[in-house]
Amino acid sequence: MAGSKLVKDYQVGDVVEYGTYEFTQDKIIDFAKEYDPQPFHLDPEAAKDTFFEGLAASGWQASGVAMRLMVESLDLAKGIVGIEVKVKWSNPIRPGDVMSVKTEFKSIDYTDSNPDQAVCNLVTTAYNQAGKKMIILDSKVLLSN
């Protein structure tokens, strides 16, 4: 990450599209073993008899992937600091799903104390390869040069 972009490079209404990430069975299970050890994330056979009716990625894993793609794409000089977020996990993510992400700038409010910082409302949406919404993150963040 070069950290080359500035807050002023973005305007309300801008939409930034990011790269993609493929969820494999191994990645889903490895994450679940470490952070979310529930049967529908850990074992394809056991997952068949659960709410998801098959192996599904943890929503926390998917949210973390969306954050990584956001940070890499926005590439702000001094980073993105989360203030609050509302997460909606719309559909399960399965092995083989390829997630793509885009963020819309809903508001940009420069701070009085530092003109190189802004509190922004960002709505980040993740889709699978079929265009189905997987996650929506409605967040307030501090962007800093």
**How high is the pLDDT of residue 1?**
45
Domain boundaries, the chain: 7-144
Distances (CA, A) of 42 to 53, 122, 136: 13, 32, 24
Q: Which two tokens stand for residue 22?
A: 């493929």
Mean pLDDT of 81-98: 96
Q: Which CATH superfamily hosts domain 7-144? A: Hotdog Thioesterase (3.10.129.10)
Hunting for tokens 């501090």 — which residue is that? 142
Q: pLDDT class for 73, splitting at 50, 70, 90?
A: confident
pLDDT tens readout for residues 19-34:
999 999 999 999 999 9
pLDDT tens readout for residues 93-128:
999 999 999 999 999 999 888 888 999 999 999 999
| The total number of residues written for the chain in this structure | 145
Q: pLDDT class for 2, splitting at 50, 70, 90?
A: low
